[in-house]
Amino acid sequence: MQLDMMFTGFGGQGILMMGKIIALAALEEEKEVAWIPSYGPEMRGGTAYCTVVIGDSPIGSPIIQNPMYLVAMNQPSMEKFGQLVKPNGLILKNTSLVPISSQRTDLDEFEIAANSIANELGTVKVANVVALGAFIQKTGIFSFDLIQDILRKELSKKPALLDINIKAIERGKESVS
């Protein structure tokens, strides 16, 4: 079994963190994993994406051209990557910034207003974690307990951020249940 996924958006949206959380969860379950971040020259506002490949056996190539899963946090990402998703795959789009559809009928496309939900929680900075919660709910690739444990470890040096991130992942989960 091998799962290929891509998390996309612009710099500053926490795109790389979403992929890193998934990669760390895979490592925790003793899976083979490759996490490859990619971002433009700008630290904030430029294009950012990362790919994650998870497998039960060694990964032949960490490069993926056609992911099974795509999380699109902004419209340029949907336009660029939406057509690359494998048939029978899944696209999760942030409708706060992605008003368009992939126009595909050969896959599942889900919507979440990640930015709006994050704003309701008090800060747009957790929109990525809201989307991550929705992604985990729709794919079922990891348990929420595991993802929350990874968040706790990753935010151990920033304990003030933990509570809102746990709330964000729960809200993401609830929004697509």
Domain map (residue ranges) of the chain: 2-175
What local confidence, expressed as pLDDT, does residue 12 receive?
85
What local confidence, expressed as pLDDT, does residue 159 receive?
86
Dist. CA 45–CA 104, nearest whole Å: 28
Q: What number of CA atoms fall less than 13 Å from residue 83's CA on the CB side?
A: 3
- CB < 8 Å & 24+ apart, contacts of 95-102: 96/127, 97/73, 98/72, 98/73, 98/74, 99/75, 100/75, 102/78
* Under-70 pLDDT residues of the chain: 40-45
**Domain 2-175 -> CATH class:** alpha beta
